[in-house]
Amino acid sequence: MRMDISTVVLPLPSDELLDVVERSLRVSFPEAYRIFIKENNGAVPITNVFSCNNHEYLIERFLCVLDDSESDPINGWYDIEVTIRQIEDRLTDNEDLVGMNVVPITALFSGDFICLDFRESKDPTVVIWFHEESEESSPLTQMVALNISEFFEMLKE
């Protein structure tokens, strides 16, 4: 997978910041994703296309993790927690859930998101979350990959 290095959002998140985000969301990111985001925070991929069920999807950019999203008026909108606050009522089918079980990590060109889906396991699958079809407490998702590493391998130019 190739990234446009000039688009990486600085400062890169520390392990401590990722731990804080995980505690807030009540999930544990896969190690491959932690390594990825600590090197490519919010970057725009050059290998930005993947296929799923006879459709091609275009990645706009990966979401970022910022210590203070309000201090970055451009990239702050792409912070994972900011993104969740905008769509959280349509990301979960459990209104009593504390934390998140579907976590957006990538913005797609169409307004949809690639998400880590923790609903079935602590080892999340990768899904597309469809914004137009999702309603409050009724997210519509489609499985893309069994894990984040498999998803990374799917990307092409």
Percent of the chain past pLDDT 70, that is, above it, reads 99
Backbone φ, ψ for residue 71 (5° rounding): -80, -5
What pLDDT, on a 0 to 100 scale, did the predictor assign at position 142?
Answer: 97
Tell me the per-residue pLDDT of 23-75, one tens digit each, with 9 for 90 and over.
Answer: 999 999 999 999 999 999 999 999 999 999 999 999 999 999 999 999 999 99
**Is a pLDDT exceeding 90 seen at residue 97?**
no
Q: Is the dihedral of CA 23, 108, 113, 154 positive or negative?
A: negative
Q: Is the dihedral of CA 149, 151, 152, 154 positive or negative?
A: positive
Q: Is CATH 3.40.1580.10 what the domain over 3-154 is classified as, yes or no?
A: yes
> Global pTM?
0.94
Determine the average pLDDT of the residues in 91-107. Answer: 86
Per domain, the residue ranges of the chain are: 3-154
